């Protein structure tokens, strides 16, 4: 047994559970290797060690050791192994492992997108994040997968190049935002920088080369400044636990540089000074002392203690002028806040601190600002939805218990009207089959097929019901009479021919103008500015008018330049297809 596992066992309140999980995992992973070439047990041990360092409970650590045991296991073997796990470790751990094994479904959409070089819209990425959380079902599944991903990013170079891109895209678009929302800034920074280096190597290299001098210069100054600051605090008789600084992540720095026209002088938190103190009262006192000795930039004073960020982050931030024209950001926080900032939710349900958030709620009033699932682990805010894929990787969100017919109508009314059969992950299913999260649904159509009123017995979406009722004569009206099938069929044909004519006219109109993207998205209401009349090929930008429609201008337009100067927050990046 490895020394790392022995350390965890010695520290644990349930050593038998950890030892048993390790022995089971060793056997389960015996002949199984990750794409990096190492045995799964080595990776699982590192995950468990990271969870132990976060002071998490034995159940979560045991789950960390076992989290991959059902991955890539055939269906018939999977059922047997699931029962064995449940028998040995109980329903809770068994359920967590099952949920974890389903998360790979999210990768389908990204892999199709990379293969076909598709653009990922903001809505699509957000739906993938929602699907990830819906499939997880439990906060511990999300956390273990984040820690597992963190470990995997350290060995990214061992993967085939196409897998590196997929792994990094998945990390940047799904894992990084979720880590941020859960307040796991330590994990977030490592994940986003690893993904940045893989996906945009030239930009990463440029930033690293250009930031090196800035970092060294600022670090050198802060090293000299910290002793001076300590003297000030000592004179003012305020207790300080620590003063240090942290470098902003490369990815966050690059994003901020874009917002400031790539001007390093505008980035004041490349290296942020952190002052750690004993209590909240001292935080505010230190803020006053700093402002007494150093001039602050008033627009950059933020009180995240009184009003925490949505992810629970608490601290006082101020940006001050130092000597010799230096400007730096200072973050003031208690030791507890510092731990929360690094470990997020893990700091809130730390086993070793024996904190019962429900019983001791009065001592943790700030928790009221944090979603309920942080206290219960249960992620149930998507329990009434099901997230499915088209074969091309598009996400279709439907109500729970929806069927392939609901899916068909959600894709397009023509597909719903002529739906004949359906496949899920290549297997034929009945049209009343209940869809599950992550299902890849393929619908076969037949132009001679028309909706059956029997479909009304199982469809869930109002869209599907309304189409079926209209085309089967089931739509309620002042009078009813039976409609012969051949007449119904003719009505559908006429309706569809009319719809196609409308679509063709729309395509012609769009074709003449060219497809316009706003902030990387198409289909947004756009007006063409009469003052400069931009044409396809012109460099363009847009601004949001009072009616919330976007008005497209040439970037060289004088009117646009005046608007951009006066209302920069209303300017949207635009481009032709």
Distance CA 78, CA 166 (A): 26
Among 113, 130, 169, CA closest to 394? 113
Residue 377 within a domain: no
Find the CATH number of the domain harbouring 330: 3.30.460.10
Whether 182 and 248 map to the same domain: the answer is no
Whether 435 and 405 map to the same domain: the answer is yes
Q: What is the pLDDT of residues 300-340, one digit of tens each?
A: 899 999 998 877 789 999 999 887 677 888 999 998 888 77
Distance CA 134, CA 379 (A): 7
Distance CA 359, CA 510 (A): 61
Last residue of a domain, one of 352, 375, 406: 352
- For residue 377 the two structure tokens come to 């682990």
| Beta carbons of 528 and 534 less than 8 angstroms apart | yes
DSSP β-ladder status, 516-518 and 571-576: antiparallel
Give Cβ neighbours of residue 134 (< 8 Å, ≥ 6 apart). Answer: 379, 382, 383, 385, 386, 387, 437
Return the pLDDT at 347: 53
Whether 479 and 532 map to the same domain: the answer is no
Residue 375 within a domain: no
Residue 382 within a domain: no
- For residue 416 the two structure tokens come to 């719903």
User: From start to end of 54-154, where are the E strands?
Assistant: none
Whether 440 and 526 map to the same domain: the answer is no
| Beta carbons of 77 and 32 less than 8 angstroms apart | no
Return the pLDDT at 358: 36
Residue 504 within a domain: no
Whether 339 and 424 map to the same domain: the answer is no
Whether 195 and 84 map to the same domain: the answer is yes
Whether 235 and 187 map to the same domain: the answer is no
| Beta carbons of 183 and 344 less than 8 angstroms apart | yes
Report helix, strand or coil for 298. helix
Last residue of a domain, one of 295, 319, 352: 352
Whether 47 and 97 map to the same domain: the answer is yes
Whether 179 and 327 map to the same domain: the answer is no
| Beta carbons of 304 and 316 less than 8 angstroms apart | yes
Residue 176 within a domain: yes
- Number of domains the chain is built from: 4
Residue 362 within a domain: no
Report helix, strand or coil for 158. helix
Find the CATH number of the domain harbouring 430: 3.10.20.30
Long-range pairs, 468-471, Cβ under 8 A, ≥24: 471/417
Return the pLDDT at 279: 93
Residue 509 within a domain: no
Q: Which domain holds residue 413?
A: 396-496
Whether 212 and 258 map to the same domain: the answer is yes
| Beta carbons of 97 and 85 less than 8 angstroms apart | yes
| Beta carbons of 559 and 566 less than 8 angstroms apart | no
Distance CA 465, CA 218 (A): 64
- For residue 8 the two structure tokens come to 């965890």
Return the pLDDT at 78: 82
Burial class (CB within 10 angstroms; exposed 0-12, middle 13-18, buried 19+) of 418: buried
**In a structure prediction context, what are the per-residue pLDDT tens digits for the chain, which is 577 residues long?**
568 888 898 888 899 999 999 999 999 888 888 877 888 999 999 999 988 888 888 999 999 999 999 887 777 778 888 899 999 999 999 999 988 888 888 877 777 776 766 666 777 777 788 888 778 878 888 889 999 999 989 888 888 888 888 889 889 888 888 888 777 778 888 999 999 999 999 999 999 888 877 777 778 888 888 999 999 999 999 999 999 888 788 898 888 888 888 887 777 777 789 999 999 999 999 999 999 999 998 888 999 999 988 777 899 999 998 876 778 889 999 988 887 777 665 554 443 333 343 333 333 332 333 344 444 555 655 678 888 888 888 888 899 899 999 999 999 888 999 999 999 978 899 999 999 988 899 999 998 888 988 999 999 998 898 888 888 775 554 445 555 666 666 666 676 666 666 555 444 444 445 577 776 666 666 788 888 888 887 888 888 776 556 788 998 998 888 888 877 767 877 887 6
Distance CA 348, CA 490 (A): 64
Last residue of a domain, one of 325, 352, 379: 352
Helix or strand holding residue 346 (H, E): helix 345-348
Whether 442 and 537 map to the same domain: the answer is no
Find the CATH number of the domain harbouring 191: 1.10.3210.10
Return the pLDDT at 17: 94
For the chain, the residue count is 577
Whether 415 and 476 map to the same domain: the answer is yes
DSSP letter for 364, please.
G
Burial class (CB within 10 angstroms; exposed 0-12, middle 13-18, buried 19+) of 371: middle
Return the pLDDT at 352: 34
DSSP β-ladder status, 316-321 and 302-303: antiparallel
Residue 506 within a domain: no
């Amino acid at each position: 047994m490895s020394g790392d596992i022995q350390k965890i066992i010695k520290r644990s309140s349930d050593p038998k559970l950890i030892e048993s999980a390790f022995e089971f995992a060793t056997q389960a992973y015996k002949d199984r290797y990750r794409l990096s070439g190492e045995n799964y047990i080595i990776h699982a041990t590192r995950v468990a060690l990271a969870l132990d360092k976060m002071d998490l409970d034995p159940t979560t650590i045991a789950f960390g050791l076992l989290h991959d045991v059902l991955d890539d296991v055939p269906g018939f073997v999977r059922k047997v192994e699931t029962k064995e796990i449940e028998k040995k470790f109980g329903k809770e751990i068994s359920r967590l492992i099952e949920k974890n094994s389903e998360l790979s479904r999210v990768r389908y959409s990204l892999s199709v997108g990379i293969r076909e070089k598709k653009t990922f819209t903001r809505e699509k990425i957000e739906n993938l994040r929602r699907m990830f959380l819906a499939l997880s079902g439990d906060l511990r599944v999300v956390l273990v997968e984040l820690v597992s991903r963190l470990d995997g990013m350290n060995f990214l170079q061992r993967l085939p190049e196409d897998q590196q891109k997929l792994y990094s895209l998945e990390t940047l678009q799904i894992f990084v935002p979720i880590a941020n929302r859960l307040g796991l800034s330590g994990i977030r920074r490592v994940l986003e920088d690893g993904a940045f280096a893989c996906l945009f190597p030239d930009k990463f290299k440029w930033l690293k080369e250009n930031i090196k001098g800035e970092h060294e210069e600022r670090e050198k100054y802060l090293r000299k400044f910290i002793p001076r600051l300590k003297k000030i605090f000592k004179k003012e008789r305020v207790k300080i636990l620590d003063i240090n600084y942290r470098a902003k992540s490369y990815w966050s720095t690059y994003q901020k540089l874009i917002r400031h026209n790539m001007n390093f002088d505008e980035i004041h938190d490349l290296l942020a000074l952190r002052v750690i103190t004993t209590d909240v009262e001292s935080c505010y006192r230190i803020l006053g002392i700093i402002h007494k000795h150093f001039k602050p930039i008033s627009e950059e004073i933020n009180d995240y203690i009184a009003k925490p960020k949505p992810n629970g982050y608490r601290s006082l931030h101020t940006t001050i002028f130092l000597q010799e024209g230096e400007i730096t950001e200072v973050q003031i926080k208690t030791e507890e806040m510092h731990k929360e900032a690094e470990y997020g939710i893990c700091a809130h349900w730390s086993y070793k601190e024996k904190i019962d958030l429900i019983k001791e709620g009065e001592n943790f009033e700030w928790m009221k600002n944090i979603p309920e699932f942080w206290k219960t682990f249960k992620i149930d805010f998507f329990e009434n939805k099901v997230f499915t894929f088209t074969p091309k990787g598009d996400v279709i969100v439907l109500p729970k218990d929806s069927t392939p017919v609901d899916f068909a109508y959600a894709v397009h009314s023509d597909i719903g009207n002529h739906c004949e059969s359906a496949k899920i992950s290549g297997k034929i299913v009945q049209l009343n089959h209940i869809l599950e999260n992550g299902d890849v649904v393929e619908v076969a159509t037949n132009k001679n097929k028309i909706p059956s009123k029997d479909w009304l017995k199982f469809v869930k979406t109002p869209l599907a019901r309304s189409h079926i009722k209209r085309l089967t004569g089931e739509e309620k009206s002042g009078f009813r009479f039976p409609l012969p099938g051949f007449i119904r069929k003719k009505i559908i044909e006429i309706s569809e021919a009319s719809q196609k004519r409308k679509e063709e006219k729309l395509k012609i109109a769009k074709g003449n103008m060219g497809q316009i993207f706003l902030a990387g998205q198409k289909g947004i209401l756009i007006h063409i500015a009469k003052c400069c009349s931009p044409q396809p090929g012109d460099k363009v930008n847009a601004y949001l008018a009072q009616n919330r429609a976007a008005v497209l201008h040439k970037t060289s337009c004088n009117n646009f330049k005046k608007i951009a100067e006066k209302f920069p927050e209303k300017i949207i990046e635009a481009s032709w297809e």
